[in-house]
C-alpha cells in the first residue's frame, strides 16, 4: 500500500489545496446547519429547496414572522462568498447572517447554493445564480414555491453578496441591464459587501512587489481558466480598459450600495469600483459605506462586534428603501 502523501500541485491559501492526482482539499469548509422553523432568537423560518433538478442548484429560503397571513415582503436573492471555490449557503455563519437580515429588514430571503470551482469552473456560478434569479422572478405570476407566491413583493427585489458573492452580484446586475427577467421583473437594488475585484496593475495601497503573487491575483485563472483577458477580464476587473469591456452605466438596478472595510486587501479596488460607477453616467443611486477599522467580511465572522452591528443596520436600511 502506498502511504506517501500526495504531491501538491498548487495552493490558494486559505481556501484550498489541489494535488497532482486531481484531488482537492477545501481548507475552509465551514460546518453546515439545518434550516429551522421559528428560530428561537429571530422568529424566522427557513427551509431548503431545489431550484434546478438538472444542475442540482438549490437554496435556503427564509421567511420572517408575519404580521398577517397576506403580508407581502421585499425579496433578497443572496450569493455567499468563498473565492468561488469554498463556502455554502447552508454554513452556520451564512445561516446566522441571512437569518438576521430577514428578521431585521422583514424580508423574504433566498440564499443560493451555486456550484463551486474547480469542479465547476466559472462561468458556472454566474450561470447558476442568474438561473436562480430567473426562477425567483418567474414566481411573480405563480409557481411551486408558496412562500414566494404568497409573500413575495416582486416590485422590491434586491440582490446581494459578500466577497466572491459580491462579484457575482455585480455580474448579475450587469446582465440584468441587457437581458430581461421573466414577467418584466426588475431589480430594485443591490449591495456588494467587500466584493472580489482585482486587476493586473496595482492601485492605491496595493503592494507592487508581490502583486502577482497575491491569492486575489492567482485564483482568478484557477477558477476561470477559459478567461481570455485573464485578471483584466471585466467580470473581475470591471474598471478594466480592455477592449469590449461593458460600461458600468448599464447596471440593471436602481440603487447600489458598496460596502468596504478599511483593512481589507480589496478596499482600494472596491472604492475604485464605486467611483467608476458614479462617473459612468449610470442613472441610478450609488452609495459607499466603510468601516475603517475592520477587515474582510468581518460582519459575517464577528457579528456581535459593534462595527458589524453598524454595518448590518446600514444593510437593513438599504433593504427597507422603497
Residues 188, 113, 260, CA angle at the centre, nearest 5°? Answer: 55
User: Is the Cβ–Cβ distance between 91 and 33 less than 8 Å?
Assistant: yes
Tell me whether residue 299 is one of the annotated catalytic residues.
no
Burial class (CB in 10 A: 0-12, 13-18, 19+), 238: buried
CB 142 within 8 A of CB 95: no
Among residues 191, 171, 195, 189, the alpha carbon closest in space to that of 246 is found at: 171
b/e per residue 54-66 (b: at least 16 CB within 10 A): ebebbbbbbbbee
Measured between alpha carbons, how far is residue 275 from residues 258, 287, 288 in Å? 10, 10, 9
C-alpha cell at 130: 442568474
Task: Find the catalytic residue in 163, 227, 234, 240.
Answer: 163
Q: Which of 39, 162, 264, 270 is catalytic?
A: 264
Catalytic status, residue 249: no
| Closest C-alpha among 111, 74, 255 to residue 173 | 255
d(CA 125, CA 260): 23
Catalytic residue among 95, 120, 151, 296: 296
- 163 given a catalytic annotation: yes
Grid coordinates belonging to 3: 502511504
Point out the residues that are catalytic: 163, 264, 296
Amino acid at each position: 500500500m502506498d502511504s506517501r502523501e500526495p504531491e501538491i500541485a498548487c495552493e490558494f491559501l486559505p481556501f484550498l489545496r489541489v494535488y497532482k492526482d486531481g484531488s482537492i482539499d477545501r481548507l475552509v469548509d465551514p460546518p453546515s446547519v439545518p434550516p429551522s422553523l421559528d428560530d428561537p432568537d429571530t422568529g424566522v423560518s427557513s427551509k431548503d429547496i431545489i431550484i434546478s433538478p438538472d444542475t442540482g442548484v438549490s437554496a435556503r429560503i427564509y421567511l420572517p414572522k408575519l404580521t398577517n397571513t397576506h403580508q407581502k415582503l421585499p425579496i433578497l436573492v443572496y450569493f455567499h462568498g468563498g473565492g468561488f471555490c469554498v463556502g455554502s449557503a447552508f454554513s452556520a455563519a451564512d445561516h446566522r447572517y441571512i437569518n438576521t437580515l430577514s428578521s431585521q429588514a422583514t424580508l423574504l430571503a433566498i440564499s443560493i447554493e451555486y456550484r463551486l470551482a474547480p469542479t465547476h469552473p466559472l462561468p458556472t456560478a454566474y450561470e447558476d445564480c442568474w438561473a436562480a434569479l430567473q426562477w425567483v422572478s418567474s414566481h411573480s405570476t405563480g409557481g411551486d414555491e408558496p412562500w414566494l407566491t404568497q409573500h413575495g413583493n416582486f416590485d422590491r427585489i434586491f440582490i446581494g453578496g459578500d466577497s466572491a458573492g459580491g462579484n457575482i452580484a455585480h455580474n448579475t446586475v450587469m446582465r440584468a441591464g441587457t437581458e430581461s427577467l421573466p414577467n418584466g421583473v426588475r431589480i430594485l437594488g443591490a449591495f456588494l459587501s467587500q466584493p472580489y475585484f482585482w486587476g493586473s496593475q496595482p492601485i492605491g495601497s496595493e503592494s507592487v512587489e508581490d502583486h502577482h503573487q497575491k491569492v486575489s491575483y492567482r485564483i482568478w485563472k484557477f477558477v476561470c481558466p477559459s478567461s481570455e483577458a485573464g485578471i483584466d477580464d471585466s467580470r473581475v476587473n470591471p474598471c478594466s480598459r480592455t477592449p469590449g469591456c461593458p460600461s458600468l452605466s448599464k447596471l440593471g438596478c436602481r440603487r447600489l450600495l458598496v460596502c468596504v472595510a478599511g483593512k481589507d486587501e480589496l478596499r482600494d479596488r472596491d472604492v475604485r469600483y464605486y467611483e467608476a460607477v458614479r462617473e459612468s453616467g449610470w442613472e441610478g443611486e450609488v452609495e459607499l459605506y466603510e468601516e475603517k477599522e475592520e477587515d474582510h467580511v468581518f460582519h459575517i465572522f464577528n457579528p456581535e462586534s459593534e462595527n458589524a452591528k453598524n454595518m448590518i443596520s446600514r444593510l437593513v436600511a438599504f433593504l427597507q428603501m422603497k
